[in-house]
Amino acid sequence: MTAQPSWHLQAACAESGSALFYSSLPEDIAQAKSICCTCPVVGPCGAYAEAVLERHGVWGGRSEDERRSELARRRMRRDVGEQLDAAMANEGNWTVIGDYDNRYTAKERASVLRKRALPPGNWTFSSRARGDGGSELLALYSRPARAVGD
Ligand code: SF4
């Protein structure tokens, strides 16, 4: 038998039953989230669901879809960091940093990257369509020019 985490004893959902929290009906999900808003352990509960990659139900005030989206956003941020590192390591050369099934995705990603805070230096992004309907995102990096006297 798995031990319950200690915060579980203070759970506001203990009285309401689990059906509401595992329902797929939008009104049930909204009601479950409103109970979470009153819960004294909303933080630890959400952190626990995140740590164990809980896939089902409302936890810590977040629905399954919200947790999934948050994970995807984090993965994307981490991946972008790794992609930029690869381009920096290949300074002065175009580097393919993304490979997508959709022919438009690389163009969209290039547009997003142009607007984001990037590591210091000169960045140029480009995209190209692949023959199979996909697309590639490319980056060109060069170090920032040094000021006279540096
Ligand atoms: S945050 Fe929500 S799901 Fe988590 S213990 Fe509290 S009421 Fe239950």
What pLDDT score was predicted for residue 57? 96
The CA 34 to ligand 1 mean position distance, Å, reads 10
What pLDDT score was predicted for residue 1? 43
Pocket test for ligand 1, best of 13, 22, 38 (most atoms within 8 A of CB): 13
Which string of b and e fits 94-105 if b means at least 16 CB within 10 Å? ebebbebeeeeb
Gap between the Cα atoms of 36 and 95, Å rounded? 46
The gap from C-alpha 131 to its chain's centroid, in whole angstroms, comes to 29
What pLDDT score was predicted for residue 53? 87
pTM here is: 0.63
Gap between the Cα atoms of 65 and 51, Å rounded? 16
Local mean pLDDT, 10-residue blocks, the chain (150 residues) = 74 89 96 96 93 92 92 79 91 92 89 88 94 93 76
Residue 39 CB–ligand 1 contact under 6 Å: yes
Pocket test for ligand 1, best of 10, 35, 63 (most atoms within 8 A of CB): 35
